[in-house]
Copies of this chain bind each other. A is one copy, B any other.
Amino acid sequence: MPKLWNETIEEHRRAVRDTVLETTAELVAEQGLRGVTMSRIAERSGIGRATLYKYFPDVESIMAAWHERQIAGHLDELADLRGRSDTPGARLAAVLERYAFIQQQRHGHGAELSALLHRGGHAAHAEQHLRHFVRGLLAEGVQAGEVRDDVTPDELTGYCLHALAGAGELPSKAAVRRLVAVTLTGLRPQG
């Protein structure tokens, strides 16, 4: 069955958009934020400048869209991990480890880019989503007696996310795993 015309257009639009996001992220990684212009993005993406402006008004909005897609991807990945472990404790450990690795990769961005990316409302929304997700895992852990119950899951969420943000300055995967182990020790039930 041939595709409907609307679907084809929609697919084409999504493909252009994806290409622009990937290309811009590549250029920013290579040259830093200041070195990237709409003209260079158009050139590298192989689309016309006029077409590019139909999709995005400026470099900042492209980076915001890219960041939004990255975050959504990370959240999906964490949700997926959740489904793959048996016990609440194993789930929590798998999700927090993955989160820590994401923090480690993210650090490559640099301070200027991080500040830009976090200006948009989407980042705040994603953080809320993440907190809610981790809080749920911690509450399950408390129910199962695998996480301490003398501190609320909400406060434990803040502890976990802040402690694991430290992964950003760690040089190796082994060091990130040690950080996750130390952080998990802090969550253990207190006798």
Q: Which residues of A contact B (CB under 8 A)?
A: 115, 148, 150-151, 155-156, 158-159, 161-166, 169-170, 175, 178-179, 181-183, 185-188, 190
| Residues on the B chain within 8 Å of A170, using CB | 155, 158
Binding site secondary structure of chain A: helix
Within the oligomer, what is the number of copies of this chain? 2
| Residues on the B chain within 8 Å of A178, using CB | 150-151, 155
| Residues on the B chain within 8 Å of A169, using CB | 158
CB distance from A98 to the nearest CB of B (A): 18
19 interchain pairs (CB within 8 A)? A150-B178, A151-B181, A155-B175, A155-B178, A155-B179, A158-B170, A159-B182, A162-B163, A162-B165, A162-B166, A163-B163, A163-B166, A163-B183, A163-B186, A165-B165, A183-B186, A185-B185, A185-B186, A185-B188
